[in-house]
Structure 1
Amino acid sequence: MAKNKRHSDGTPAAVQLTAAGVPFAVHTYVHDPSATSFGAEATQALGVEPARVFKTLMVRLESVRRAAGVAAEEYAVAVVPVSSRLDLKAAAAALGAKRAALADPAVAERLTGYVVGGISPLGQRHRHRLVLDGSALDADTVFVSGGRRGLEIELAPADLLAVADGTTADLALG
């Protein structure tokens, strides 16, 4: 994979990777507005096995502030293969929270600056903690949303973790 210096897509995800000097490739396809699964659409359009294409899910974490005894919530990013579901208990444990739930789509869009189906784990409006399913480390490269529907970024999982300051955990169900 060649190091990319400029990208015409100009998404915040591509800008962040370029600024970090990380090698990546951009893959585009024509998004079908009637598609019901953005991840399945990407795997079919790009001809990539589903184990290498990852979806970005915003989760709402609930923790307990010990000093105040008050429940507090924050948001984080969980990245899992498109062929899997997110194990919310595993995500909560990996992120040190009491509970985790999928964030409301409108909240996810507001926090990331991206639309659902195009939420990238990179270049988000607000920086969030990121946990990547450990299966990503089995591949030389993985695909994640590039910041819009029909745009995928291929990069090494170690580079994704480094740029996002992320961790890994077993997060996938099924």
Structure 2
Amino acid sequence: MKKYLWPSLKMTLVMLVLCCLLYSLVVAGIGKLTPGGGDGEKITVNGKVVGYANIGQKFTEDKYFWGRPSAVDYIASGSAGSNKGPSNPDYLKIVQDRIDTFLVHNRGITKEQIPAEMVTASGSGLDPNISPASAYIQIKRVAATRDLDESKVKSLVDQRIEKNPIGPDVINVLKLNVALDQLNQK
């Protein structure tokens, strides 16, 4: 027994140092080399931090583009999906309520035109991005609320599309809304 106990304890200590200490320091060091120094990309307006580009935020006013719904109400410390299956009656009611709300605020479109991502939460509940299709379908509402020409708002959306070489193109909702506020101030 003694023959195996001491080597096991030594191996445990070595692995603790490697996995808990050294690995954490390496990851933190790599994080410091990224934009934002490992704290995420801060979005600032007039020197004030208004949010982070990698964490979704709740926008419900008609003058803003809306992001994906969140199962955790955009609380980053509780990142999670709803964990309800597509046949769960509670989940179906939540999705139907989101569809109804979206249709009320975006007149002139049909249920079939709504991109699925606008009525279903992401796995993390914190998705900061939407597809270009989800932004385009909201242009009419946003332009009308802000008394802007639709072509001007569409041009702004087009400028905010982030090309992704390995996945679908996306638009960061916070960055788009900040640009929209700045456009409205001109």
TM-score strictly above 0.5: no
Larger Rg: 2
Higher relative contact order (CA 8 A, sep 6+): 1
Length-normalised TM-score, structure 2: 0.26
Length-normalised TM-score, structure 1: 0.28
Instruction: Return the structure number with greater strand share.
Output: 1
Instruction: Return the structure number with greater helix share.
Output: 2
